[in-house]
Structure formats: C-alpha cells, structure tokens
Amino acid sequence: MRIRFLTTMLAGGLTLGGMAIADPPIHAHGADLPPGLAKQGKVPPGHAKKIWKRGEQLPPEYREVRFDDWARYDLRPAPPGYRWVRVDRDVYLTQTTTGLVAQALLDLLN
C-alpha cells in the first residue's frame, strides 16, 4: 500500500513539476505599481521622468516643441538665440542651436 501511495505521489509530482503553484505578484493583476512602491509613492526604476537641469542639453527631438504661450505664465520673452521649449508639464529656456538648458521650470503646466 505504501509503495502505491509513493508511486502516485511521485507521478503527480512529475506532472505538476513544471507548473507554478504560487500566485503571481499583486502588480501582475493590472495594478499600476508593486505594493511597496505604491505605498512610498515612488515610480519603478526606468520609468522615472527625465528632468533636465541647467547646463544639460535637451535631446534634439524635444528642441522643436516650442512654447509660445510664455506671456500667459508671466515669463519673460526668450532672449535672442534662445527659445522656450515644452516637455510634458515642464518648460525649458534653451539655446536654439545647441539645446543647452538655461532655465528649467518644472510642473509649470499643471
């Protein structure tokens, strides 16, 4: 009797050996963030928004998104050789030729 039980258990273990028994993590069910990051209000690594600082270069694909509504937000006109550029909700004052950031206004466009 004991041999039959062990044989049955062994056969069952071989068939189920490739299957995962544990549930997938909670964030795999459609939640936005893993619970630990959600509680801390953090963004997963690699998903953080890039913020350029003064002295850094804005990539070429962002340099052409001009922000001509500067007066509405009480900004001064861009000096010669510079322009206001919008990236998401941020506005940057950049050199037109190099994309060098002279001023960064974060979350200006809420």
What's the pLDDT score for residue 5? Answer: 53
d(CA 6, CA 29): 37
Divide the 110 residues of the chain into consecutive groups of 10 and give the mean pLDDT of each group. Answer: 56 53 50 57 60 90 85 91 90 93 87
Amino acid at 63: R
Strand partners, 84: 93
What's the pLDDT score for residue 44? Answer: 58
Token couple for 24: 């997938």
Q: How far is CA 99 from CA 51, 63, 69, 73, 77, in A?
A: 14, 6, 19, 22, 17
What's the pLDDT score for residue 30? Answer: 45
What's the pLDDT score for residue 22? Answer: 54
What's the pLDDT score for residue 4? Answer: 60
What's the pLDDT score for residue 35? Answer: 62
Domains and CATH numbers, the chain: 1-48 (no CATH), 49-110 (3.10.450.160)
DSSP, res 66? B
